[in-house]
Amino acid sequence: MRRLLLIVPLLLAGCASPAWNDADYGKKAGATAEAAASSVALVRLAVEHEARLTRPYLQTLLTETATALGSVDSQFGAVQPPSEQAVEVRAEITELTSEAAEQVQVLLDEVRLREIAEPEKAAADLAALADRLRAFAERHPS
């Protein structure tokens, strides 16, 4: 029984529930944007202070974030858009999350090779992206 109690929530947490209508889909898209914005804001914070952090730490942090962004993307991607309008919403949020994943991946590659080439520019780009994600989340409150 105890094992069952453990498995049920794990399954619940791991599965993406379907969207019944546009409003529901919008909420899920908003939650995805919020999660991605949180990850991007974290990476921005780390990049701003990268000179004060160790390389193994930064590498682990960026790897975790890249994984988290990939997971957010795939979980939302598993939800079927219920209408044409929802397809447009999906295109917009997918573009943003893909851009976030790409930026973090570039930073991770730089850290793996040596160090972040232009930390100030990277931080500014991340800040702009986080703002766009937050704006999207505000338009689609979860």
Q: Does 114 bind another protein (CB under 8 A)?
A: no
Q: Which of 19, 47, 61, 126 binds another protein (CB under 8 A)?
A: 61
Confirm if 28 and 21 have CB atoms less than 8 A apart.
no
84 CB-side CA count, 13 A: 0
Q: Does 104 bind another protein (CB under 8 A)?
A: no
CA distance 26 to 32: 10
Nearest of 44, 22, 17, 18 to residue 125 by alpha carbon: 44
Q: Which of 21, 23, 57, 117 binds another protein (CB under 8 A)?
A: 57
Angle between the N-to-C axes of helices 84-113 and 55-77, in degrees from 0 to 180, rounded to the nearest 10 = 160
Q: Does 11 bind another protein (CB under 8 A)?
A: no
74 or 85: CB nearest another protein: 74
Name the site residues for another protein (rule: CB under 8 A): 2, 5-6, 8-10, 12-13, 34-35, 37-38, 41-42, 45-46, 49, 52-57, 59-61, 64, 68, 134
